Amino acid sequence: MNVFAHVEGRIIAALEQLKSKAKLPTDLDLTGVKVDAPADRSHGDLATNAALVLTKRAGMKPRDIAELLKAQLASDPEIAKIDVAGPGFLNLTFTPGFWHDLVRTIIADGAAYGRSDLGQGLNINVEYVSANPTGPMHVGHCRGAVFGDTLANLLAFAGYKVTREYYINDAGGQVDKLASSVLWRYRQALGQDAAMPDGAYPGDYLMPVGAALAKAHGDALLELDNAKALAIIKDATMAAMMTEIRLDLALLGIKHDVFFSERSLTAGHDQIAQTIAALRAKGFIYEGSLPPPKGEPNDDWEDRTQTLFKATAFGDDIDRALQKADGSYTYLAGDIAYHRNKLARHFDQLIDVWGSDHKGYIKRMQAAVQALSDGKQTLDVKVSEIVNLLDKGVPVKMGKRTGNFVTLRDVVEAVGPDAVRFMMVYRAPETVLDFDYAKVTEQSKDNPVFYVQMAHARIASVFRNAAETFPALTPSSAAVRDPNLTLLNDQGEIALIKKLADFPRLIDAAARAKEPHRLAFYLYDVATALHGQYARGNDSPYLRFIQADEMVTAARLGLLLAVKQVITSGLGVLGVQAPEAMR
RNA sequence: GGUCCCGUAGCUCAGCAGGAUAGAGCGGCAGUUUCCUAAACUGUAGGUCGCAGGUUCAAUUCCUGCCGGGAUCACCA
């Protein structure tokens, strides 16, 4: 149950009643009426802006509308207090029983608590990672991978039907270069003294691929025509690289539903040609040349005639090339064909998660999706900014394609998947993130991963301790799952329940905004409330969860069970373990 | 030069589809351990929300311009 939605429904109903009694204009438009938590919780549990929003439309003073609404709601048994405050806010305070019922609801709903029907079962495609299969994943890929996966989890939790997709860039010049690099490693594996080709990938990680080819084929590949040999090597290399990448992703608990190969676009039917033809039919293709880049003068610039996509028709800065001067397709052409393929698979929404270095690519891709779908479909692109890898505040060096980059595997093995996943979404994606090895493995409040997991483990610990005195009070017992909750009357306990009440609304908001980091921060808040209540027992033993009275203990364990459920669900969406005990 | 992102407390960052006196952690200061894990908790100090306009009953939030920082720019992938 979403408390906010529930109460909003009651407010709307009350306003409708006022309309039917003609105390408000009968044709009054109620859009914009919302229920929120008041800025200061001492004002009440929930607040509505109804009077402020309606004042103009109704032609009445806000406080007069508020008073009407207050009178209309006065008979509600769950509302303990209603105040008109400030310019016309209506602050509602609920009875303890209202909150006690929520605890019961959370326990009964279990893993379903917090799920929403926001997505209404719509099909949504989330494409993320899509790292080039030219080597192991490095830490730079990590953030986008975790962000995309967490976003997918979040959307699924919010009621969408999610397809997780990976676009394999297994075509183009880089892959050819990679194949030549493997050929070199293959020769080396055969004992030849081969020189490293120009522009080859120097990393050691290609040595096993060369060795495996040597083992499988002997020197037979050298007998073949060079192009044929490279084709075989390319296939083997792609397979090997994708195996590695899947293993890397598995370390983080990431599993895609679809791996879509760029090469498959031109494998039987040339989908790129079909795509260009489709765009041409809509009038968005022409042969022409582009103006030279502005700003820094570039000596290499040549004017040339190419097949261009009229991206400017959809707000892009310039039109974009789809075919190179030699007639081969550009990367963009393939990517447009890929997105056309996605459109053909009838997703209701498309989301791409890209690294910040692709920011400049967003407009042209969105232009293409609009052009292909006649403006009926939009592409939502989420960009994740770079990660600065630090150790105790000192930058950890990493280079691109130098062969000595920090791999994703290094990082996960150093700090564990939970810390990586949590910390990578503990920041808005569009902000630069500092990731400090030392910090994320620290066991303190300064490390949110630890702090949230600790809250879960602490609850599990309390259950274990309680069982020593009251063996009947297990998490699955009726005594704990349906206790006498009126015994929960401490302010801290009620505050904890109210924090849990925020969960469904938070999920909704985070899913709507596609911002998983909000969930991470929320869980930190829940953990703070739990640890705080626990600590109050230090000074005031009567507040400890385990009491001499079994009924009181059962009620508090019931509350803890609800807290545990929310933390478990929340961490589940983040893809982080909820441990029963800390090491 | 164009485009995009960021600019909130000394530091790192939240701020919930605009809302009432802007929050958290760290660091500072002052406290708290016969107690379910002190790996913690409580209190306190600290802010012209980069600047200037605009829209609105209401702007940290939306729009415009400027300033500062970052990313990016053609046949790369």
The reply to whether A448 and A565 lie within a common domain is yes
Q: Give the domain-ending residue among A215, A242, A269.
A: A242
| Domain of residue A512, CATH code | 1.10.730.10
- Which nt has its C1' nearest the CA of A300? B74
The residue type at A55: T
Is A179 in contact with A263 (CB distance < 8 Å)? no
Cβ count within 10 A of residue A437: 17
Assess whether A476 and A563 both reside in one domain.
yes
Is residue A541 one of the residues assigned to a domain?
Answer: yes
Residues A82 and A195 in one domain: no
In whole angstroms, B74 C1' to A178 CA is 24
* Assigned domain for A398 exists: no
A512 Cβ nearer than 7 Å to chain B strand: yes
In a domain, A219, yes or no: yes
Q: Is residue A410 part of a domain?
A: no
User: Can you tell me the distance from the alpha carbon of A19 to that of A12, in angstroms, rounded to the nearest whole number?
Assistant: 10
Tell me the pLDDT tens digit for each residue of A278-308.
Answer: 999 999 999 988 887 766 666 677 788 899 9
Q: What is the mean pLDDT of residues A79-102?
A: 90
Q: Which nt sits closest to A292, CA to C1'?
A: B74
Cα A35–A114–A75 angle (5° rounding)?
A: 40
Q: Which amino acid is at A98?
A: F
A87: nearest Cα among A66, A72, A69? A66
**Residue A547 has which token pair?**
């009491």
What is the structure's pLDDT at A296? 60
Answer whether residue A285 is part of any domain. Answer: no
Same domain, A570 and A448: yes
Q: Which chain A residues 458-497 have CB under 7 A to strand B? A: 458, 461-462, 464-465
A364 CB inside 7 Å of strand B: no
Distance A60 CA to B56 C1' (A): 18
Range of the domain at A499: 444-574
Name the residue among A445, A461, A451 with its Cα closest to residue A580. A461
Q: CA A340 to CA A177: how far, in whole Å? A: 28
Q: What is the mean pLDDT of residues A116-137?
A: 92
Pairing assessment for the beta strands A89-94 and A79-85 based on DSSP bridges: antiparallel
Last residue of a domain, one of A208, A242, A276: A242
**Could you tell me where the beta strands, DSSP code E, fall in A275-378?**
285-288, 306-309, 320-323, 349-355
Q: List pLDDT tens digits, range A336-361.
A: 999 999 999 999 999 999 988 888 89
In a domain, A247, yes or no: no
Q: For position A399, what pLDDT does the model report?
A: 43
- The total number of structural domains that make up chain A: 3
Nucleotides in chain B with any atom closer than 7 Å to protein CB: 1-6, 12-17, 19-26, 32, 35-42, 57, 70-77
Q: Strand B closer than 7 Å to the CB of A4? A: no
- CB of A408 within 7 Å of some strand B atom: no
- pLDDT tens-digit map of A372-407: 999 899 899 999 888 888 887 777 765 433 445 688
| Band of residue A218 on the pLDDT scale cut at 50, 70, 90 | very high
- For the stretch A13-52, pLDDT in tens is 999 999 999 999 988 888 888 888 887 777 889 999 999 9
CA terminus-to-terminus distance, chain A: 35
A179 and A83 fall within a common domain: no
Instruction: Judge whether A377 lies within some domain.
Output: no
Residues 279-318 of A with CB under 7 A from strand B: 290, 292-296, 298, 300-302, 304, 306, 317-318
CA atoms within 13 A on the CB side of A77: 1
Q: In this structure, what is the dihedral angle of CA atoms A270, A275, A281, A283, given to the nearest 10 degrees? A: -140
CATH number, domain of A18, equals: 3.30.1360.70
Inter-CA distances, A257 with A254, A326, A420, Å: 10, 36, 22
What the block records as the tokens of A493 is: 């306990």
Q: Quote the mean pLDDT of chain A.
A: 90
- Does some domain include residue A510? yes
Query: How far does the CA of A304 sit from the C1' of B2, in Å?
Result: 21
* CB A143 within 8 Å of CB A423: no
Structure tokens at A77: 């048994």
Which H helix or E strand runs over A81?
strand A79-85
Which of A44, A63, A94 terminates a domain? The answer is: A94
Give the pTM. Answer: 0.95
Residue A335 near residue A347, CB atoms below 8 Å? no
Cβ of residue A327 near strand B, that is under 7 Å?
no
How distant, in Å, are the alpha carbons of A61, A63, A318, A328, A355 from that of A321? 59, 61, 10, 11, 22
A241 touches strand B (CB under 7 A): no
Mean per-residue pLDDT for A492-519?
93
Instruction: State the nucleotide closest to A462 in CA–C1' terms.
Output: B36
